[in-house]
Chain A
Amino acid sequence: MMKQIKSVDELMKLKEAALEKIKERQASGKTTIVVGMGTCGITAGAREVMMAIIDEIDKRNISDVIVTQAGCAGMCQHEPIVEVNKPGIPQIVYGHLDEEKARRLVLEHVINGHVIEEWALVQRD
């Protein structure tokens, strides 16, 4: 038997979960770029890296890219860290980025679909 919804709180939680699913569905097919924006990231220049990525995507008129952020991932010594998730190629976590590298990353990885292996910290298949 299906579990019954007892309170409005539970109902709202279900609604939130459904919305999350919709968002995920909309995001699939899109490239997601996640910038680490913990205190460690900010100190290392994560905000500047994020602005360079946004600027490059805007200038090149690329659609279907979402730029967002995450907190500290516990790899503070490698900040600024950026995770790129482009459908069809491995998900890569890049480290030690700066504005210039971030712009090249948009060109090489996001547009051309080539992983820049020398900057990659982690590869998830």
Chain B
Amino acid sequence: MKLSNKMRELSHHLLDLIENSLAAGASTIKITVIEDTSGDILGFEVGDNGEGLNEEEIEQIYDPFVTSRRLRRVGLGIPLLQQAARACEGDLIIRSEKGKGTTVKTTFRRSHIDRMPLGDVASTLVAAVAAKPDVNLLYNHLVDGREFIFDTSWLISKFRELPLNDVKVLSWMKGFCREGIKKLYRGD
């Protein structure tokens, strides 16, 4: 069975994974993007401390049509991403433990012709912060050993009672992340 995937960027999938973590009640979400040109790999991982899934629930997530919404939080997002990864000689793996959290890891062959562009990750991060400004987001992006880190827990501690979803703060965040990520590809 082939699902029709209308996501245009991997960063859209990334936002979809973060949404799952937020829906699972996570207070901390770790996002890691790794690009390795010599190994020809692009991978990303979203790990949370949300409510987690049992084995049966994990099985159901991979299948887009087995059960009703009532029984699970996620819908078509995971099957679509898994299909996209497998089409690029990669895969998607879910590790989860009830009460502890969930980690979704996905890999792609970086040079594969069908690999979607990573796209606008900065917008994905801003959308996530706007959704739940009190959640700690730790973003870590590695390109051939160069690293960009964005940690909202630092901002939250500085802002204290003021939530991070102020429009001016969100705009600043987008610019900051865009610049930081762009520098990873320039190599300076």
Within 8 A of B (CB), among A1-57: 37-39, 42-44, 47-48, 50-51, 54-55, 57
B12→A65 contact, CB < 8 A = no
B170→A54 contact, CB < 8 A = yes
A47→B167 contact, CB < 8 A = no
Choose, from A68-76, A89-97, A115-123, the stretch at the interface.
Answer: A68-76
- Contact (A51, B167) CB under 8 Å given A42-B15, A69-B127: no
A contacts with B, residue count (CB < 8 A): 22
- Contact (A58, B167) CB under 8 Å given A42-B15, A72-B75: yes
- Contact (A42, B16) CB under 8 Å given A37-B131, A67-B130: yes
Q: B8 CB to closest chain A CB, in angstroms?
A: 9
Is B123 part of the contact surface with A, judged by Cβ < 8 Å? yes
CA distance A42 to B123 in the complex (A): 12
CA distance A67 to B129 in the complex (A): 10
Is B6 part of the contact surface with A, judged by Cβ < 8 Å? yes
Chain A residues near B76: list those with CB within 8 A: 39
B23→A68 contact, CB < 8 A = no
- A47's partner among B6, B77, B127, B165 (CB-CB below 8 A) is B127
Is A66 part of the contact surface with B, judged by Cβ < 8 Å? yes
Closest 9 CB pairs of A and B: A39-B77, A58-B171, A69-B131, A43-B6, A57-B167, A51-B123, A47-B127, A58-B167, A42-B12
Q: Can you name 8 A-B pairs with beta carbons within 8 Å? A: A42-B7, A43-B6, A43-B12, A47-B15, A51-B126, A54-B126, A54-B170, A68-B165
Binding site for A on B (CB under 8 A): 6-7, 12, 15-16, 19, 23, 75-77, 80, 120, 123-124, 126-127, 130-131, 165, 167-168, 170-171, 174
